[in-house]
Amino acid sequence: MDLSSHIDSKRDAHLNELLEFLRIPSVSAKTEHKRDIERAARWVADQLRGVGIGKVEIIPTEMHPLVYGESLDAPGKPTILFYGHYDVQPAEPLDLWTSPAFEPTVRDGNLYGRGTADDKGQVHIHLKALESLRQLNGRLPVNVKVLIEGEEEVGSVSLWKFVEQNKKRLEADALVVSDTSMLARGVPSITYALRGLNYYQIEITGPAQDLHSGVFGGAVPNPLTILCGLFAKLHDKKLRVTVPGFYDDVFKLSSAERKALEALPWKETEFRKTVGAPGLCGEEGFSIGERLWCRPTLELNGIWGGYMGEGAKTVIPSKAYAKFSTRLVPKQDTGKIARLVEKHVRKLLPKCVTCKFEVLSTGKPWAASYNHPIFKKAIGALEKDFGKKAVFIREGGSIPFVTQMHDTFKIPCVLIGFGLPDENAHAPDEHLALENYFGGIKAIAHFYQDLAAL
Ligand code: BES
Ligand code: MN
Ligand code: MN
């Protein structure tokens, strides 16, 4: 039987297995899911053993375990490091899901559930591709190292240390990742640039305790009001970030690259539909594509404090909090930006409050050339199963590990995404198109097979 028909014959089995994986609520951000995280790590380890990867290890870390496996039985063939994550984002707000987040359900050709697109579904694509090759040929066509982490959605902090201490073990000829999106349905895509991310949390303290807003209001600082004032000043009228020096090191798009990006089959109407807002806005002087892929941003992710319960409570809160982040682009330095942001925030705050400023996680931006021969293999494999030539895209999201691997080993990083931009990653009703899941297994199997002749 050929590879494609073999994979076709297993569709139901593959999907049922993915459902099992998705039912584990491996939310990395919440300590209450510690057990689920461990269960998911074991599930991945068992899968790897099933694939025939001989050496599989669950590696404990300070936070969530890493799963590592290797099969080095293809002497003379290239070694591929496949990376993905088994952790998922929190499912809240729960009431906005059509079917429960951890009860995966098929509707209209899509599989709904937390982690379908980001990233369990995409990890499973690779596991099933490898398994199919193994079943058909009795062995894998290339040497494979697999690293699946459980902290990607909270900044991959433990992974940094692991890479530092295991450089030899992770050596490979290329890194392969499926944790990104396709430009649009039916358009196979390879991502060659990602934005970086600094994530911050601040705590503003005014009065030593909550106060009656009638008895004290008017003569004391209200930290919530001050926090709102702060965020109102972090962008100017042109929606540029006001932090001095923020744009100093931002790379400039070459005219050749601009042309290539403008020629992509990307539709603004589709984008507007996905966003679903009455209108769009963004930094003046840049196209939507540039705003999303080439420009740094500062986003407020959450703000809280004071009374948020039912009815009215007249109170001046003692504290106010915010979580915010900066997306960074090539040439910006994460440490420098963190210092500039903190300095500016402190300068904007009045003396009547104090501020605790924390950087929760940081990840560098990434952009790389795509002329290594491995990209031809990827294009060929994708074309075979998606019937179209792949496009090369930048994306606005962040995968800190990719930059780290690229900087450490200077190896090509091949990011083949099977998500779609409207699949609600990180939001309610996250889903994955089944055509991309099944098509992905075939394309990735062909890709690994073709890599034997790299
Ligand atoms: N898979 C995403 C990153 C992504 C999504 C890249 C879409 C390109 C297109 C990843 O799981 C993610 O969400 N990363 C976080 C960063 C992390 C440090 C918390 C992000 O981008 O917010
Ligand atoms: Mn992801
Ligand atoms: Mn994510």
Q: Per residue in 276-295, pLDDT tens?
A: 999 999 999 999 999 999 99
Ligand 2 centre from 115 Cα, in Å? 8
pLDDT at 252: 95
26-65 pLDDT tens trace: 999 999 999 999 999 999 999 999 998 989 999 999 999 9
The answer, yes or no, to whether the previous bond of 93 is cis (omega within 30 of 0) is yes
134-190 pLDDT tens trace: 999 999 999 999 999 999 999 898 998 999 999 999 999 999 999 999 999 999 999
Please name the residues in contact with 138: beta carbons below 8 A apart, sequence gap of 6 or more.
none
Distance of alpha carbon 231 from alpha carbon 241, whole angstroms: 11
Distance of alpha carbon 351 from alpha carbon 101, whole angstroms: 45
Distance of alpha carbon 435 from alpha carbon 259, whole angstroms: 31
Q: Residue for token digits 């998500």?
A: 419
Residues designated catalytic: 87, 152
> Atom 1, ligand 1: which residue's CA is nearest?
179
Mutate which of 179, 192, 200 for ligand 1? The one with the most ligand atoms within 8 Å of its CB, which is: 179
301-322 pLDDT tens trace: 999 999 999 999 999 999 999 9
Which residue, among 448, 413, 340, has the nearest Cα to 180 in the 3D structure? 413
Binding-site residues, ligand 1, Cβ < 6 A: 118-119, 152-153, 155, 179-181, 194, 197, 361, 363, 395, 397-400
359-382 pLDDT tens trace: 999 999 999 999 999 999 999 999
Q: Mean pLDDT score of the chain, rounded to an integer?
A: 97
Given a contact cutoff of 8 angstroms between Cβ atoms, the answer to whether 182 and 88 are in contact is no
> Atom 9, ligand 1: which residue's CA is nearest?
180
Ligand 1 centre from 138 Cα, in Å? 35
pLDDT at 133: 97
Q: φ and ψ at 187, to 5 degrees?
A: -115, 95
pLDDT at 54: 83
Q: What is the DSSP letter of 433?
A: E
Residue 344 C-beta-side C-alpha neighbours within 13 Å: 18
SS3 448: helix
Closest ligand to residue 155's CA: 1
Closest ligand to residue 401's CA: 1
Which residue, among 120, 190, 201, has the nearest Cα to 155 in the 3D structure? 201
387-396 pLDDT tens trace: 999 999 999 9
pLDDT at 220: 98
Ligand 2 centre from 208 Cα, in Å? 41
Q: What is the DSSP letter of 389?
A: P
Q: How confident is the model over 240-260, as a mean pLDDT?
A: 97
The model carries a pTM of 0.96
The answer, yes or no, to whether the previous bond of 75 is cis (omega within 30 of 0) is no
User: Does the pLDDT value for residue 120 go beyond 90?
Assistant: yes
Distance of alpha carbon 81 from alpha carbon 66, whole angstroms: 14
Ligand 3 centre from 362 Cα, in Å? 15
Distance of alpha carbon 33 from alpha carbon 26, whole angstroms: 6
Question: For residue 124, what are its two tokens?
Answer: 């499973």
Which residue, among 178, 160, 157, 146, has the nearest Cα to 44 in the 3D structure? 146
User: Does the pLDDT value for residue 104 go beyond 90?
Assistant: yes
Closest ligand to residue 399's CA: 1
Would residue 311 be called left, alpha or beta, if left means φ above 0 and alpha means ψ between -120 and 50 degrees?
left
Question: For residue 336, what are its two tokens?
Answer: 């420098």
- What is the C-alpha end-to-end distance of the chain, expressed in Å? 24
Given a contact cutoff of 8 angstroms between Cβ atoms, the answer to whether 390 and 188 are in contact is yes
Which residue, among 240, 238, 203, 419, has the nearest Cα to 326 in the 3D structure? 240
User: Does the pLDDT value for residue 1 go beyond 90?
Assistant: no
Tell me the sheet residues that pair with 69.
56, 146
Task: Kindly provide the b/e burial profile for residues 95-132, where b requires at least 16 CB atoms within 10 angstroms of the residue's own CB.
Answer: eebeeebbebbeeeebbbbbbbbbbbbbbbbbbbbbbb
Given a contact cutoff of 8 angstroms between Cβ atoms, the answer to whether 51 and 36 are in contact is no
> Atom 6, ligand 1: which residue's CA is nearest?
397
Distance of alpha carbon 441 from alpha carbon 122, whole angstroms: 9
Amino acid at 103: E
Rg value, the chain, Cα:
23
Distance of alpha carbon 365 from alpha carbon 426, whole angstroms: 20
User: Does the pLDDT value for residue 438 go beyond 90?
Assistant: yes
Q: How far is CA 193 from CA 134, 365, 369, 399, in A?
A: 32, 8, 9, 10
Q: Residue for token digits 């569709």?
A: 11
SS3 149: strand
Distance of alpha carbon 416 from alpha carbon 440, whole angstroms: 9
- Dihedral sign for Cα 203, 204, 208, 211, please: negative
